[in-house]
């Protein structure tokens, strides 16, 4: 009697194949970045699409997070006689962890699906092949510009989410107990160091790299017509979000080790 292969072997081989193909794709895209001329106009267009058009959603998510932090932590801190620490809890929670991860996941949902669907549609209609035949490098024009735009936009969007969260956290706090915005900031930033805020903000550049690379890869390998485009959009969001969460865990541990 011949033993059947283990059920896990198939998915494991598919995962390894995906990792290998993705690694080769990233290597090709990284090589095109340093080849002159740089696609500056397309980069700026993508920066506007990814950054400017994501700003309202990111700011809304950051503001809602600030309100929730204020409402949830007020009762707990009051119970333990530490209500004066409320501004510190809100600001540090937002800037050190909540703001970056919320921004990464929100942009992953909006931008990841957009890039995956756009490039997937171009691939199934053979526009990418036509571009390559006409002498334009698709990896450089389509993928590299989107990856770099995501890398630049994510830290800036994180700052916007943090600012919106701090402001709305102050609004929620002052509705319960009136206090000036200046006093709220002074209490929240008391004892804060530059190293408390810079590494968590800069780590979102890696989130942007993940979103741009994964979404571009999934889109440019789309097959199967319109159904394949839908699968590419969905897989772009799922894989980007999953990798962002994994990367966040690793980066938090690294930041703690470097800045104890």
Give the DSSP letter string of 104-140.
Answer: HHHHIIIIIHHHHHHHHHHHHTTHHHHHHHTT--HII
- Contact indicator for 39, 140 with CB cutoff of 8 Å: yes
In a domain, 27, yes or no: no
78 lies in some domain: yes
Q: Which residue has the tokens 């896990």?
A: 8
pLDDT of residue 6 exceeding 70, the answer is no
Above 50 in pLDDT, residue 149?
A: yes
pLDDT in the model for residue 39:
81
Q: How confident is the model at residue 7 (pLDDT cuts 50, 70, 90)?
A: low
Share of the chain above pLDDT 90, in %: 52
Answer yes or no: is pLDDT of 221 > 50. yes
pTM of the model: 0.90
Q: Is 24 domain-assigned?
A: no
Average pLDDT (65-92) is 86
What is the DSSP secondary structure assignment for residue 224, as one 8-state letter?
Answer: S
Answer yes or no: is 66 within a domain. yes
pLDDT band, residue 1 (cuts 50/70/90): very low
- Residue 18 domain-assigned (yes or no): no
Whether 8 is in a domain gets the answer: no
Domain assignment of residue 250, given as a range: 39-258
Six-digit token string for 16? 């390894």
Number of domains in the chain: 1
The owner of tokens 């990814």 is 50
- Between the ranges 38-42, 72-76, 92-96, 188-192, where is the mean pLDDT highest? 92-96
Q: Binning pLDDT at 50, 70 and 90, where does residue 3 land? A: low
Q: Highest-confidence range of 27-31, 155-159, 231-235, by mean pLDDT?
A: 155-159
* 133 pLDDT more than 90: no
111 belongs to a structural domain: yes
Question: Residue 2: is its pLDDT beyond 70?
Answer: no
């Amino acid at each position: 009697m011949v033993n059947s292969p283990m059920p896990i072997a198939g998915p494991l081989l598919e995962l390894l194949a995906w990792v290998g193909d993705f690694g080769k794709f990233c290597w090709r895209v990284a090589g095109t970045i340093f080849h002159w001329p740089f696609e500056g106009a397309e980069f700026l267009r993508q920066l506007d699409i990814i950054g400017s058009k994501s700003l309202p959603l990111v700011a809304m998510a950051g503001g809602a997070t600030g309100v929730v932090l204020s409402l949830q932590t007020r009762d707990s801190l009051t119970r333990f006689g530490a209500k004066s620490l409320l501004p510190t809890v809100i600001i540090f929670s937002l800037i050190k962890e909540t703001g970056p991860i919320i921004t990464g996941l929100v942009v992953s949902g909006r931008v990841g699906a957009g890039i995956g669907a756009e490039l997937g549609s171009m691939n199934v209609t053979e526009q990418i092949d036509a571009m390559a035949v006409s002498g334009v490098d698709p990896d450089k024009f389509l993928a590299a510009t989107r990856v770099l735009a995501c890398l630049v936009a994510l830290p800036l969007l994180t700052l916007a989410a943090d600012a919106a969260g701090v402001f709305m956290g102050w609004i929620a706090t002052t509705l319960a107990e009136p206090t000036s915005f200046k006093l709220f900031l002074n209490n929240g930033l008391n004892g804060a160091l530059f190293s408390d805020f810079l590494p968590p903000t800069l780590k979102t550049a890696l989130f942007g790299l993940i979103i741009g690379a994964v979404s571009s890869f999934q889109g440019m390998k789309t097959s199967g017509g319109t159904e394949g485009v839908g699968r590419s959009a969905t897989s772009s969001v799922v894989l980007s979000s999953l990798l962002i969460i994994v990367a966040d865990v690793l980066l938090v541990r690294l930041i703690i080790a470097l800045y104890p």
